[in-house]
Amino acid sequence: MTTSETHTNPDTPETLAYNRTKRWLELADLVVSFGFLIALLATGWTNTLSALATRLGRDHYALDLFIYVLFLSIISKVLSFGLDFYSFRLEHRFNLSNQHIGSWIKDAIKGWVLGLVFATFLAEVVYSFIRISPQYWWIIGWVIFIALFIFFAQVAPVVLFPLFYKFAPLQNEELKARLVRLGERAGTRIRGVYEWKLSEKSRKANAALTGLGNTRRIIVADTLLQNYSDDEIEAVLAHELGHHVHGHILKNILVEAAVTLAGFWAANEVLRYAIDDRKMFQHLADFANLPLLALVASGLSLVLMPALNAYSRFTERQADLYCWKCVADVTPYITAMEKLGKQNLSESHPSRLVEVLFHSHPPISKRIAAAEAWAKKHRPSLAT
Ligand SMILES: [Zn+2]
């Protein structure tokens, strides 16, 4: 196959149905979580729950707050359980999942506990600073949030991901040698490449650059290693190396820092307005205002999602460009993209609106077209 003759096929009815249902599920999930927060505030249930938590915690502030967070976490899990289960069924209906119900429930519980630990820790820190420094709590809260975020980015590949998947250092010597060569050409060294045992749960394929500092590594799904040629896997690795060379993880952290600073600032303003002007809460340290804080944070991330997705697509294009420059021929990149699209039922031709609103990666049709255009210009000898 010559690179100039490759065309991406239109999406199959199956692909369209899968993606359409998934988008509806995401939308429903948004409605449920925003609806829950709004209902808590509008009905005054948040005050009822915080009063109950205070009674159960016997006026021990940190314990009261934990009980309150536990209530919210249980109720929101109950509310979203139906949608979560439907998502699990959806993956099976489209033959994308191998996971048994027992393993899925185990993962759901682990995820819930992790979320609870994280939310409790953050809430305890934020409200203790609200009490210590009502004026500057939002700046201190932001600094701690970012520190926590960096900590989690670093430990994720060694502590969090292994809770859900098994990993092992890549055994394929030929691939390892190729990656070393890619890295040498880039003047950089990746600490490791790990095989991600995704096949136990999913039929999809994926690869990613994860971690920070000494945990920085590329993870490649076994589903990819088993079914793709060495040239195709090299192209995928070169793309991930592109993320590394461009420092995308660090840049993402900086973007995250800017967004959350705006979030903490806005939360402080909105909380003050709710207390001073609307008399919704007695004071800042009244943790019944937590749903309002969460509402501001999630509202802001929702509003910024198209911009953040646009930034993410930009970084993907950078990593792609890096990949094409690295590999001798872009054809394996193109065939790998086609295979990935088919295997994961990704839409190759989403509408522009869907792309702008939801997609963190450029559509496969555009990535392939860009690769072909690049090859025509920079590798004319390979095209016939
Ligand atoms: Zn990427």
Cα-to-centroid distance, 319 and ligand 1 (Å): 6
Q: At 271, list the tokens.
A: 């909380």
Cα-to-centroid distance, 158 and ligand 1 (Å): 21
Which of 150, 157, 359, 361 is CA-nearest to residue 257?
Answer: 150
- Cα–Cα separations (whole angstroms), residue 110 to 106, 115, 117: 6, 9, 11
| CB neighbourhood size of 111 (10 A) | 14
Burial of 264 (0-12, 13-18, 19+ CB in 10 A): buried
Cα-to-centroid distance, 367 and ligand 1 (Å): 11
Cα-to-centroid distance, 205 and ligand 1 (Å): 13
- Coil, helix or strand at residue 97: strand
* CA distance linking residue 38 with residue 115, whole number of Å: 21
* CA distance linking residue 95 with residue 154, whole number of Å: 33
Which of 81, 120, 138 is CA-nearest to residue 104?
Answer: 81
Cα-to-centroid distance, 311 and ligand 1 (Å): 12
Cα-to-centroid distance, 363 and ligand 1 (Å): 12
One-letter amino acid identity for 2? T
What pTM does this model have? 0.90
Q: Which residue has the tokens 């993209």?
A: 337
Cα-to-centroid distance, 147 and ligand 1 (Å): 25
Cα-to-centroid distance, 139 and ligand 1 (Å): 32
In 206-289, which residue ranges form alpha helices assigned H by DSSP? 222-227, 230-245, 248-276
Q: At 320, list the tokens.
A: 């792609």
CB 341 within 8 A of CB 364: yes
Strands 167-169 and 217-221: unpaired
Q: At 141, list the tokens.
A: 């809260």
Cα-to-centroid distance, 279 and ligand 1 (Å): 47
Cα-to-centroid distance, 288 and ligand 1 (Å): 40
Cα-to-centroid distance, 316 and ligand 1 (Å): 5
Cα-to-centroid distance, 17 and ligand 1 (Å): 25
Cα-to-centroid distance, 366 and ligand 1 (Å): 14
Cα-to-centroid distance, 13 and ligand 1 (Å): 26
Contacts of 303 (CB under 8 A, 6+ apart): none
Per-position pLDDT tens, the chain of length 384 = 444 445 577 899 999 999 999 999 999 999 999 999 999 999 999 999 999 999 999 989 999 999 999 999 999 999 999 999 999 999 999 999 999 999 999 999 999 999 999 999 999 999 999 999 999 999 999 999 999 999 999 999 999 999 999 999 999 888 888 888 888 877 777 778 999 999 999 999 999 999 988 888 999 999 999 999 999 999 999 999 999 999 999 999 999 999 999 999 999 999 999 999 999 999 999 999 999 999 999 999 999 999 999 999 999 999 999 999 999 899 999 999 999 999 999 999 999 999 999 999 999 999 999 999 999 999 887 654
* CA distance linking residue 350 with residue 360, whole number of Å: 13
Cα angle 61, 65, 70; round to 5: 150
Cα-to-centroid distance, 383 and ligand 1 (Å): 26
Cα-to-centroid distance, 234 and ligand 1 (Å): 14
**pLDDT confidence of residue 268:** 96
Cα-to-centroid distance, 32 and ligand 1 (Å): 30
Radius of gyration of the chain (CA): 23
Cα-to-centroid distance, 239 and ligand 1 (Å): 6
* CA distance linking residue 295 with residue 18, whole number of Å: 30
**pLDDT confidence of residue 383:** 56
In 133-200, which residue ranges form alpha helices assigned H by DSSP? 137-155, 173-186
Cα-to-centroid distance, 259 and ligand 1 (Å): 21
